[in-house]
Amino acid sequence: MEIPYTYKARPDTGLYNAKVGIWLFLASEIMLFGALFSAYILLRVSAPLGFWPDVALAWPRGLLNIPIGTFNTAVLITSSVTVVLAWAALKMNNFARFRVYMVITVLCAFAFLGIKSFEYNDKFSHYVIRLQDGKALTGHIEVDGKHPRFWNFSDQWSVAKLADQKVTKIKVEVDPERDMNGHVKAHGSHDHEVREVAVSDIVSLGSYTPATHPFFAVYFLITALHGLHVLGGALVLGYFAFPGAKMWKSNPEQFINRIEVGGLFWHFVDLVWIFLFPVVYLL
């Protein structure tokens, strides 16, 4: 027996099964991301006033790279345009053009993930160093000529590790000073002052990982979950572009509907980023 309405619309709803299914799925996704956005906002508004890292739990400003974030936004907007053009190409019976647009979409997805991993790598090698005199420094560190990534989940462990390795001094490429809004005070100068710090003066040392501050915890959680959605979407769209494209010959109507459903998911993923970017990077 054939399953009804797999590609033809139901007369009562005017929709085929997969479209109802994807919208129900997207409704559940909205609740998931909505909860995470709420968590971010509640943590942010309840954070103590002050300048991080001087005030330990104050909300950090200006730590994320806005030009990179903006570029990634442009990449995702481009991918949404190409996915809808791929769908439109199929509607116009132009399979060759569909494939070109789909490949561009998948390339954009992997470009986004590549740039995001570059950003993650930078955060994992960026440190906040709390000193015995109560002051705090942030920046990349150099230990014996290397830029370590500790992947630590305990600040004390890092200092202990340095002591274990008989390291007495580390070099810190200190970040430029920022104002309360996170803007660099002396603009135009991108030089980082390099300072030597004695390990005995360090109280704690932690890279920008989830354990260091609630900001990083929620930032990594939301962006990693979003990244997983990008990866999943890219794999599905890549499947439609190549092995799954056989259906174009056997059942073109259902194939067009599959592309539409894939495109709806892709638009949702991109729309999440459209909200995520200003909330996390700009505000």
Partner 1 sequence: MSLKAFHIVFVAASVILMAFLTGWSFLAYQETRSADYLGWSLCAACSVVGLVVYGRFFLRKLRNISYL
For the bound state, the minimum distance from the C-beta of residue 127 to partner 1, rounded and expressed in Å, comes to: 26
What is the residue type of 20?
A: V
The smaller minimum CB distance to partner 1, of residues 69 and 206, is found at 69
Which is nearest to 212 in space by CA: 143, 171, 151?
151
Which is nearest to 211 in space by CA: 142, 160, 150, 133?
150
Tokens 């729309």 belong to which residue? 271
* 28: contact with partner 1 by CB under 8 A: no
| Among the residue ranges 64-72, 93-101, 155-163, 226-234, the one whose residues contact partner 1 (CB under 8 A) | 64-72
Among 40, 87, 101, 216, binds partner 1 (CB under 8 A): 87
* 100: contact with partner 1 by CB under 8 A: no
* 71: contact with partner 1 by CB under 8 A: no
For the bound state, the minimum distance from the C-beta of residue 111 to partner 1, rounded and expressed in Å, comes to: 18
Residue 261 · residue 19 · CB < 8 Å: yes
Whole-Å CA distances, 85 to 91, 92, 218, 271: 10, 10, 34, 17
- CA dist 184 and 4 (Å) reads 61
| Among the residue ranges 44-52, 121-129, 178-186, 219-227, the one whose residues contact partner 1 (CB under 8 A) | 178-186
The smaller minimum CB distance to partner 1, of residues 213 and 258, is found at 258
| Among the residue ranges 117-125, 183-191, 193-201, 215-223, the one whose residues contact partner 1 (CB under 8 A) | 183-191
Residue 128 · residue 57 · CB < 8 Å: no
Q: Which residues contact 99 (CB under 8 A, 6 or more apart)?
A: 86, 241, 245
* 179: contact with partner 1 by CB under 8 A: yes
- Strand 169-174 relative to strand 136-142: parallel, antiparallel, unpaired? antiparallel
- Beta bridge partners of residue 129, listed in sequence order: 137, 205
* 77: contact with partner 1 by CB under 8 A: yes
Find the binding residues for partner 1 in span 184-203 (CB under 8 A): 184, 187-188
The smaller minimum CB distance to partner 1, of residues 53 and 263, is found at 263
Helices (H), the chain: 17-45, 66-91, 95-124, 155-164, 214-241, 247-250, 252-276
- CA dist 135 and 69 (Å) reads 30
Among 73, 105, 138, 207, binds partner 1 (CB under 8 A): 73
- Beta bridge partners of residue 131, listed in sequence order: 202
| Among the residue ranges 105-113, 143-151, 177-185, 220-228, the one whose residues contact partner 1 (CB under 8 A) | 177-185
Q: Which residues bind partner 1 (CB under 8 A)?
A: 14-15, 19, 23, 66-67, 70, 73-74, 77, 80-81, 84, 87-88, 91, 179, 181, 183-184, 187-188, 260, 263-264, 267-268, 270-271, 274-275, 277-278, 282
